[in-house]
Amino acid sequence: MRLQLALNVKDLDAAIDFYGKMFGAEVHKRKPGYANFAIDEPPLKLVLFESSDAPDRINHLGVEVFADEQVGQATDRLKAAGLETSVEDEATCCYAKQNKVWATEPDGLRWEWYKVVEDSETFFADSAAKADSEPARGAASESGGAGSLGCC
């Protein structure tokens, strides 16, 4: 398990250069307007969305897990705690197919617990969703679904 930090950045190349040097890591995945680092120490999935006009620097936070059961356990725990959740199975987002559960903290910051099932060549599942919501826009929607950018 590792913590995920998804940031909106103005200059993707400059951010990749900075974070690569800061963590001594190579980019794990690079696509137009998107990059991520899978950092071993400290265990961190750093996701960068290129956006010149995103209202906030933090796009969303998450916890990447490595077994589907962990997503189910997180879902059960969040629901038992009385938190409102949104579950997505095999959602294509951030150039990957993922199983995930979302919860929103009191000030509106979105959190996801997710497992990557497999890589995808598209940011979203269908080209229409991708055309409507380019990764560069950066802000998560209330639904957190495939039409939003709060995904990884």
What's the pLDDT score for residue 149? Answer: 52
- List the pLDDT tens digit at each of the 152 positions of the chain: 999 999 999 999 999 999 999 999 999 999 999 999 999 999 999 999 999 999 999 999 999 999 999 999 999 999 999 999 999 999 999 999 999 999 999 889 999 999 999 999 999 987 544 444 444 334 333 333 333 456 66
What's the pLDDT score for residue 152? Answer: 66
What's the pLDDT score for residue 108? Answer: 92
Domains of the chain by start residue, with CATH: 2-137 (3.10.180.10)
- Does residue 95 contact residue 152 with C-beta atoms inside 8 Å? no
CA torsion sign for 14, 20, 23, 27 is positive
Break the chain down into helix, strand, coil percent, rounded to 5: 20, 40, 40
